[in-house]
A and B are shown apart, each in its own frame.
Chain A
Amino acid sequence: MPAPSRRPQPVRHVLALCLLAGALAVPCGPAAAQETRAEEFEQKQEARAAEVAAYYPSGAERVISSIEDFALGVAPIGFYPWFGNIYPTGWLAFGAGYRNVYADTGSVNIVGGWSLKNFKMAEATLAAPELARGTVKLQAHAKWVDAPSVPFYGLSSESSPDDKAFYFYREASVGGRADIEPVEWFSLGAHVDYLDYTNDSTDKDDSVERLFAPAGAPALLVDPAYVRTGVSAAIDWREPPGYSGSGGLYRAEFTNYAQRNDGPYSFRQFEAEVVQLIPILRANWVIALRGMVTTTDTDAGDEVPYFLMPSLGGSRNLRGYSSFRYRDRHRIIWSAEYRWTPARFLDMAIFYDAGKVTSRRSDLDFDGLKSSYGIGMRFLSQQGTALRIELARSKESNLRLIWTAGAAF
């Protein structure tokens, strides 16, 4: 019995043709060796099998993976880079932190930073494990802030920018707070801290004591220490919570500063804020309104230190003015924003802020308000406003650039 042929006859014909065709320079591709579609398919898979390689993420994917938690706002574990703001007027700061977890839901977080204007900060936070199904949060913290040069323009809304002086500010605090959120839209908070302030000269010509007397700057170069206690309540039904197109926030907070060292600087502060968001046409436009009042109160003969008084100016109120531009015992702020949404994670806003500071509570009215206006762009994340870039204008500033994280209100 003859041995079976190793190849089917037609293949031999093809091979013979290929040989001759090659001599005649006629192209004859490898596919000519196939008889069926199944064979062609198999041959392509064989060729593919010779190329297989284990999946390895690209460089870009590896980079994204390494910063994903950070980008998505997930709390890190271990060492992490940090950047942000240490204290108003300190500019952008960089640093590093270390965070770890204990007892499943508790965490410890230590972070330190240094700003472009030589402001320094160190902070440690110990968050207790969740209590009562996460509706109760307890936290202990300690913080140290060193701000070598903070501006002061004098008290009242009539202070002049020409009177700009600087002071050294340092704050060391240790304390704790408890927050209760029985329901998603309602929260209560209480806190107690020991605070030790240092208020000193900058040793420069524009140092605060060279331009202001104690009468115009209560507690000038005084270092008060306080036990600060406070309670707060808030109804927040803004939707979605991170950055909101509808709903409102109604918040009140009372804080008592009881001086622990010698001096007449004990005081109380009350602050109330109302934010209302009015969506129009499925939040194509949102009219955002805010009113906020802050008042302080003292016993007879006591005063509020100038560096702890309510202030106006900065990135969150009266944005056309620099931080701490106006200070006094009482403050009122009105803000209105016309917001529109060019893209899912981008909001634009035209804003108008008005406000004033006064020495008497009875002067908190609509007369003599300082105002500013501008336009802003906000890049949003699921957690809120990741980056806010705004240009603001006021009588004192042609154009002020604001570059910060977090919503104005």
Chain B
Amino acid sequence: MRTPRSVVFAGSLTALALAAPAFAPAPRAAAPKFYSDDPVWREVDTQDASGVEPREMNLLFENLENLFATPGDKVRGVRAQNINTVDEVPDSSWFTNRAGHRRLTVEEVVRGANTGDGPAPGQWTVVSAKSDGVTPGFTVRDTKGDIWFIKFDPPGWRGMATGSEVLVTKIFWALGYHVPENHVSHLRRENLVIDDKASIRPPGARQRRLTEDDIEALLRRADKDEDGSYRVVASKALPGKPLGGFHFHNVRSDDPNDFIRHEHRRELRGYRAFAAWTQHVDAKATNTLDTLVTEDGHAFVRHHLIDFGSTLGSSATNPREPFEGAEHVVEPIEAGKNIISFGFRIAPWRTVPLYRSREIGRIWASHEDWDPDEWKSRTPNSAHLRARHDDLFWAASKMRVFDDAMIKAIVETAEWHDPRSREAITRFLIERRDIILRKYLVEANPVHAPALAADGTLTFENLAVASGVAKAPEGYRIQWHRFDNAAQSATPIAETTVGDTRAAAPEGLPSGAGQYVLAQISAVGGPNEAWAEPAHAYFRREASGWKLVGFERQPEGEGASPLVIRRPPIRR
């Protein structure tokens, strides 16, 4: 039965009259803190993006801009803006939750993005070739009609770039990024035929038809096996229309769904920790790719990370330079200091022991003094530069899923023959992972997965302790509040201190459906002062019990929701 309009209006008036005193003294938020569908785990691109056009990125401009300007939001300390209310990154056209969100088997990670076994055997038709850029490569069509990008190892470095690319692609897939399907494959010269329309534009020449001589010239820049074949990485063309890369700052101007500045996207900020882990020093816009995808008649832009050939010990065309990962390619202030030092200001990377091998290139052999905070990509990355402790904690919480056995299995996908290569890279990844976990799981309040049972028992996990990277604190302090969702204000109920990650709720917890409780959880006597800064856990009473609807590990900072704590009146 419909409610008469006049009754609705009268009801509203009554509500307003009752609420009016509350409006006046306290700041009022424009919207409630939590909606009924919080936390959201999937963000849908609702707008038609079919009008987005391909664009070419200028690598030189990108490098110069990132080296000498500081593109992106000038305000620092801004909280990530694409996270849901429980401090996590929802699935989106940017990211798909995998590690740390659901159980991943080793087999699943080893398979990664792959949907098959690589290019179909038989003749590959070269439809274009790339002779400029960092590495030579072909675009081929296999006998099934699938398009693949073929990249090689540099002469004398069999497996270095191809193995690194395949291995690191698995890692980034498991972490949740959209990546291409990459396979170690093999090609023989006689299996390459040139498409009638294939073209090439060599440096200093015009675009022209691709010839057999071009193929030969490109293959001479590739490592050749003794049997005459070439080990390659075959990267399957991503579905959709390629649109060019995305910047790590600002938004894509022609994408109607792209309203969050990229430097404030958590998955792009947390990428910093993953890049440090895998020595992905080329984490730049030209190693990304947007594609225009149409699903169920709806067009949207999907965002990918691509080109992992310059990772681990590989610099794609050469072994990794020792400075990479320790310095940007240009650092004017440091350079000034180094000029006047006459070379006696010796950078730590100059003395770090290195492991060198033809199969994997050059990696740090020891991580005794390695600090992920000190890690640097070749050129600054706008999103990396804005990573906060909570962003890096998020990243570390993903990385902890990669146990030693999983890492070992992933390394096998590089198909390196020498067991010493596999062992060196496995050790490299394990050592860096451990250091990153020890740092980033500890530098933020490590409370994780809080839950409030129907009987009022609060449980949570200390992720740093659970990961074995920190000792348990002496105890935990929990400040309980009633939370007014509409006004975004909290009223203290009680404070309890417990020695474990389990606490009983105090008397007076609201119990009505739709009511909210805020538990501010901090550690007492923890190893890092950040542990004493409370994380905020919000629960909403529903028919089935309490539901976690909000979690803020690091609530402060620009972009964070304001919270008003209302002190109860003092009784005399």
Residues of A within 8 A of B (CB): 2, 5, 9, 12-13, 16-17, 20-21, 24, 26-32, 34-42, 44-49, 52-57, 60-61, 64-65, 68-69, 71-72, 74-77, 99, 101, 104-105, 107, 130, 133-134, 281-282, 284-285, 338, 340-346, 348, 350, 377
Among the stretches B291-299, B337-345, B418-426, B458-466, the one at the interface with A is: B337-345
Q: Identify the closest chain B residue to A2 (Cβ).
A: B2
Interface string of B30-48 (1 = CB under 8 A from A): 1100011110100111110
Asked if B64 is an interface residue, CB under 8 A from chain A, the answer is yes
Pick the residue among B12, B327, B351 that contacts A17 (CB under 8 A): B12
Within 8 A of A (CB), among B65-99: 65, 84-85
Asked if B500 is an interface residue, CB under 8 A from chain A, the answer is no
Q: Are A281 and B335 in contact (CB under 8 A)?
A: no
Q: Are B16 and A101 in contact (CB under 8 A)?
A: no
Among the stretches B138-146, B213-221, B533-541, the one at the interface with A is: B213-221
Q: Are B204 and A74 in contact (CB under 8 A)?
A: yes
Q: How far is the CB of A139 from the nearest CB of chain B, in Å?
A: 15
Asked if B570 is an interface residue, CB under 8 A from chain A, the answer is no
Among the stretches B249-257, B429-437, B504-512, the one at the interface with A is: B249-257
Q: Are A281 and B253 in contact (CB under 8 A)?
A: no
Q: Are B204 and A107 in contact (CB under 8 A)?
A: yes
Inter-chain CA distance A83–B83, complex, in Å, is: 53
A-B contact pairs, 27 of them (CB 8 A): A2-B2, A9-B3, A17-B15, A27-B30, A30-B30, A34-B31, A35-B35, A36-B35, A36-B37, A37-B37, A38-B37, A44-B259, A45-B256, A48-B251, A48-B256, A49-B256, A55-B252, A61-B61, A64-B61, A65-B60, A68-B61, A130-B217, A284-B347, A341-B338, A341-B343, A342-B335, A344-B330
Q: How far is the CB of A3 from the nearest CB of chain B, in Å?
A: 9
Within 8 A of A (CB), among B243-271: 251-259
| Residues of chain B with a CB closer than 8 A to A52's CB | 51, 253-256
| Residues of chain A with a CB closer than 8 A to B3's CB | 9
Q: Is the interface of B mostly helix, strand, loop or mixed?
A: loop
Q: Are B257 and A45 in contact (CB under 8 A)?
A: yes
Pick the residue among A20, A26, A41, A75 that contacts B203 (CB under 8 A): A75
Asked if B346 is an interface residue, CB under 8 A from chain A, the answer is yes
Inter-chain CA distance A2–B2, complex, in Å, is: 8
Q: Are A16 and B256 in contact (CB under 8 A)?
A: no
| Residues of chain A with a CB closer than 8 A to B336's CB | 342
Q: Are A64 and B13 in contact (CB under 8 A)?
A: no
Q: Are A285 and B343 in contact (CB under 8 A)?
A: yes
Q: A29-B31, A36-B36, A65-B61 are in contact. List 6 more A-B contacts (CB 8 A).
A: A21-B16, A37-B40, A45-B259, A134-B220, A284-B343, A342-B337
Q: How far is the CB of B21 from the nearest CB of chain A, in Å?
A: 12
Asked if B8 is an interface residue, CB under 8 A from chain A, the answer is yes
Residues of B within 8 A of A (CB): 2-3, 8-9, 11-13, 15-16, 20, 23, 28, 30-31, 35-38, 40, 43-47, 51, 53, 55, 58, 60-61, 64-65, 84-85, 132, 202-206, 208, 211, 213-214, 216-217, 220, 251-259, 322-323, 327, 329-332, 334-339, 341-343, 346-347, 349-351
Q: Are A134 and B15 in contact (CB under 8 A)?
A: no
| Residues of chain B with a CB closer than 8 A to A32's CB | 30-31
Pick the residue among B30, B217, B257, B259 that contacts A29 (CB under 8 A): B30
Q: Are B12 and A344 in contact (CB under 8 A)?
A: no
Q: How far is the CB of A370 from the nearest CB of chain B, in Å?
A: 26
| Residues of chain A with a CB closer than 8 A to B11's CB | 13
Q: Are A46 and B47 in contact (CB under 8 A)?
A: yes
Inter-chain CA distance A29–B27, complex, in Å, is: 13
Also in contact, A55 and B342, with CB within 8 A (given A16-B9, A20-B12, A64-B60)? no
| Residues of chain A with a CB closer than 8 A to B8's CB | 9, 12-13, 16
Inter-chain CA distance A72–B64, complex, in Å, is: 13
Q: Are B58 and A68 in contact (CB under 8 A)?
A: yes
Q: Are B351 and A281 in contact (CB under 8 A)?
A: yes
| Residues of chain B with a CB closer than 8 A to A55's CB | 53, 55, 252-254
| Residues of chain B with a CB closer than 8 A to A29's CB | 30-31
| Residues of chain B with a CB closer than 8 A to A340's CB | 338, 342-343
Q: Are B47 and A45 in contact (CB under 8 A)?
A: yes
Inter-chain CA distance A77–B206, complex, in Å, is: 8
Of B38, B251, B257, most A-chain CB atoms within 10 Å:
B257
Q: Is the interface of A mostly helix, strand, loop or mixed?
A: mixed
Q: Are B2 and A74 in contact (CB under 8 A)?
A: no
Inter-chain CA distance A61–B47, complex, in Å, is: 29
| Residues of chain B with a CB closer than 8 A to A344's CB | 323, 327, 329-330
| Residues of chain B with a CB closer than 8 A to A49's CB | 47, 256-257
| Residues of chain A with a CB closer than 8 A to B28's CB | 26-27
Which 4 residue pairs across A and B have the least CB separation, nearest first?
A340-B343, A29-B30, A75-B204, A342-B338
Q: Identify the closest chain A residue to B322 (Cβ).
A: A282
Also in contact, A26 and B259, with CB within 8 A (given A20-B12, A348-B339)? no
| Residues of chain B with a CB closer than 8 A to A342's CB | 334-339, 341
Inter-chain CA distance A47–B37, complex, in Å, is: 21
Pick the residue among B2, B38, B64 that contacts A64 (CB under 8 A): B64
| Residues of chain B with a CB closer than 8 A to A27's CB | 28, 30
Q: How far is the CB of A61 from the nearest CB of chain B, in Å?
A: 5
| Residues of chain B with a CB closer than 8 A to A38's CB | 37, 40, 44
| Residues of chain A with a CB closer than 8 A to B9's CB | 16
Q: Are B338 and A37 in contact (CB under 8 A)?
A: no
| Residues of chain A with a CB closer than 8 A to B202's CB | 105
Also in contact, A134 and B217, with CB within 8 A (given A38-B37, A104-B205)? yes
Pick the residue among B31, B254, B339, B346 that contacts A53 (CB under 8 A): B254
| Residues of chain B with a CB closer than 8 A to A343's CB | 327, 329-332, 334-335, 338
Inter-chain CA distance A46–B44, complex, in Å, is: 12
Inter-chain CA distance A93–B55, complex, in Å, is: 38
Pick the residue among A41, A57, A281, A341 that contacts B43 (CB under 8 A): A41
Q: Are A101 and B205 in contact (CB under 8 A)?
A: yes
Q: Identify the closest chain B residue to A58 (Cβ).
A: B61
Of A56, A68, A76, A282, most B-chain CB atoms within 10 Å:
A282
Also in contact, A105 and B205, with CB within 8 A (given A17-B15, A41-B43)? yes
Inter-chain CA distance A74–B131, complex, in Å, is: 13
Inter-chain CA distance A16–B3, complex, in Å, is: 15
Q: How far is the CB of B90 from the nearest CB of chain A, in Å?
A: 9
Also in contact, A345 and B58, with CB within 8 A (given A37-B35, A107-B204, A340-B338)? no
Inter-chain CA distance A35–B258, complex, in Å, is: 22
| Residues of chain B with a CB closer than 8 A to A35's CB | 35-36
Inter-chain CA distance A5–B351, complex, in Å, is: 74
Inter-chain CA distance A87–B339, complex, in Å, is: 32
Q: Are B16 and A345 in contact (CB under 8 A)?
A: no
Inter-chain CA distance A5–B44, complex, in Å, is: 27
Inter-chain CA distance A12–B5, complex, in Å, is: 9
Inter-chain CA distance A17–B20, complex, in Å, is: 11
Inter-chain CA distance A117–B85, complex, in Å, is: 71
Q: Are A37 and B38 in contact (CB under 8 A)?
A: yes
Q: Identify the closest chain A residue to B23 (Cβ).
A: A26
Inter-chain CA distance A130–B217, complex, in Å, is: 10
Inter-chain CA distance A29–B32, complex, in Å, is: 11
| Residues of chain B with a CB closer than 8 A to A47's CB | 259
Inter-chain CA distance A43–B40, complex, in Å, is: 15
Inter-chain CA distance A20–B9, complex, in Å, is: 10
Q: Identify the closest chain A residue to B17 (Cβ).
A: A20
| Residues of chain A with a CB closer than 8 A to B51's CB | 52
Inter-chain CA distance A54–B60, complex, in Å, is: 22
Q: How far is the CB of B324 from the nearest CB of chain A, in Å?
A: 9
Inter-chain CA distance A32–B342, complex, in Å, is: 63
Q: Are B12 and A16 in contact (CB under 8 A)?
A: yes
Q: Are A57 and B351 in contact (CB under 8 A)?
A: no
Inter-chain CA distance A28–B19, complex, in Å, is: 14
Q: How far is the CB of A379 from the nearest CB of chain B, in Å?
A: 11
Inter-chain CA distance A266–B322, complex, in Å, is: 53
Q: How far is the CB of A37 from the nearest CB of chain B, in Å?
A: 5
| Residues of chain B with a CB closer than 8 A to A26's CB | 23, 28
Inter-chain CA distance A343–B326, complex, in Å, is: 12
| Residues of chain B with a CB closer than 8 A to A68's CB | 58, 60-61
